[in-house]
Amino acid sequence: MRRGRPMPCVVGIDVGTGFTKAVLVDVRKEHPEGEIGRAEPPVLGRGIVKTGAYLEEAAERALDLALREAGRDRRDIVYIATTGFGRYAVSFRDLQITEITSGARGARWFFPEATAVLDIGNQSTRAIRLDAQGKVSAFKMNEKCAAGSGSFLMRAAKYLQIEVEELGELSLRATRPQPISSVCAVLAETEIINHVSAGAAIEDIVRGIHNSLADRAALLLRRVGIGSDGTPQLVFIGGVARQRGMIAALEERLGMRVRVPPQCEFTCAVGAALLGLHRWRKLRSEEGVQRN
């Protein structure tokens, strides 16, 4: 490496159905687990963009934003790990990792005692059970209908003529949550329309939506054995985890504390970067052995 250049970095890119996230990790740091369940992720820079139809282009744009925030350029990158549904579309990757594995790694890094992870994404919800070493021991996904995912919240917000970012606080002000019982997104939207027509308060409708998502999440968690063997250490990740009303609904339904990492929407990207860093170090070590 030329004198004066920054130390190299590893990149994690999460190409999701709604948003693409990228993070840069400094290879000099050891990144011990749990260093920041209380602070900031071990990253130099972050970038997030809407994914759209061109997946690799979204990855490029998110990476450029992360590089800009970190004050780095592509010459500083030594390894790139991708995750998310569009991970194979990134031709410049060195490693691809499932969102189950990256989500588990990222969540466990923030909270070393985690035994379960709930990831509510744009199109799917994932319940993940971890063993004592933090490895994935079981998982279930709900991809059949958007009624249990983040995209349903976006459509509901659009119909209610409010910003998605407002949902969390509105939900906390509910006094009479309205039931949303349908497992079909289209029928659930009809229920929302009926509640509006009946004069229900917006905050009560929003809390009903959060309760509905929490019920579906609780079912998935039970299917991987969470709650059947004592109180789990549950970590909630993904963009929906930014909504305080959703956290409250989960805690009420599950009867347990729900932990949320800072910058929760970047958790899978952080996990991919850390796994990529581990792989890069292993390759470097193997190269050193071969030279000797």
CATH number at residue 213: 3.30.420.40
Lowest mean pLDDT segment, chosen from 6-10, 113-117, 130-134, 208-212: 6-10
pLDDT at residue 22, as a whole number:
98
Q: Are residues 117 and 239 in the same domain?
A: yes
pLDDT at residue 76, as a whole number:
94
Number of domains in the chain: 2
Mean pLDDT of 48-54: 96
Give yes or no for residue 290 having a pLDDT over 90: no
In a domain, 2, yes or no: no
More confident residue, 1 or 160: 160
Domain of 150 in residue numbering reads as 113-260
Q: Are residues 204 and 279 in the same domain?
A: no
Give yes or no for residue 270 having a pLDDT over 70: yes
Q: Are residues 54 and 179 in the same domain?
A: no
* Span 74-115, pLDDT tens digits: 999 999 999 999 999 999 999 999 999 999 999 999 999 999
Residue 287 binned pLDDT confidence (cut-offs 50, 70, 90): confident
Q: Are residues 51 and 99 in the same domain?
A: yes
Q: Are residues 204 and 224 in the same domain?
A: yes
* Span 146-194, pLDDT tens digits: 556 788 888 889 889 999 999 999 999 999 999 987 767 777 788 899 9
* Span 235-262, pLDDT tens digits: 999 999 999 999 999 999 999 999 999 8
Q: Are residues 139 and 248 in the same domain?
A: yes
Q: Are residues 85 and 129 in the same domain?
A: no
Q: What is the DSSP string of the chain?
A: --TTSPPPEEEEEEE-SSEEEEEEEETT----TTTTTTS--S-SEEEEEE--S-HHHHHHHHHHHHHHHHT--GGGEEEEEEESTTGGG-TT-SEE--HHHHHHHHHHHH-TT--EEEEE-SS-EEEEEE-TTS-EEEEEEE-S-GGGSHHHHHHHHHHHT--GGGHHHHHHT-SSPPP---SSHHHHHHHHHHHHHTT--HHHHHHHHHHHHHHHHHHHHHHTTTTSSS---EEEESGGGG-HHHHHHHHHHHTS-EE--TTGGGHHHHHHHHHHHHHHHHHHHHHHHHH-
Give yes or no for residue 119 having a pLDDT over 90: yes
* Span 13-38, pLDDT tens digits: 999 999 999 999 988 765 555 544 43
pLDDT at residue 207, as a whole number:
96
In a domain, 247, yes or no: yes
Give yes or no for residue 40 having a pLDDT over 80: no
> What is the rounded average pLDDT for all residues in the chain?
88
Mean pLDDT of 202-211: 95
In a domain, 3, yes or no: no
In a domain, 1, yes or no: no
pLDDT at residue 230, as a whole number:
61
In a domain, 147, yes or no: yes
Q: Are residues 138 and 41 in the same domain?
A: no
Mean pLDDT of 103-131: 93
Mean pLDDT of 212-232: 83
Give yes or no for residue 3 having a pLDDT over 60: no
Give yes or no for residue 51 having a pLDDT over 90: yes
pLDDT at residue 104, as a whole number:
96
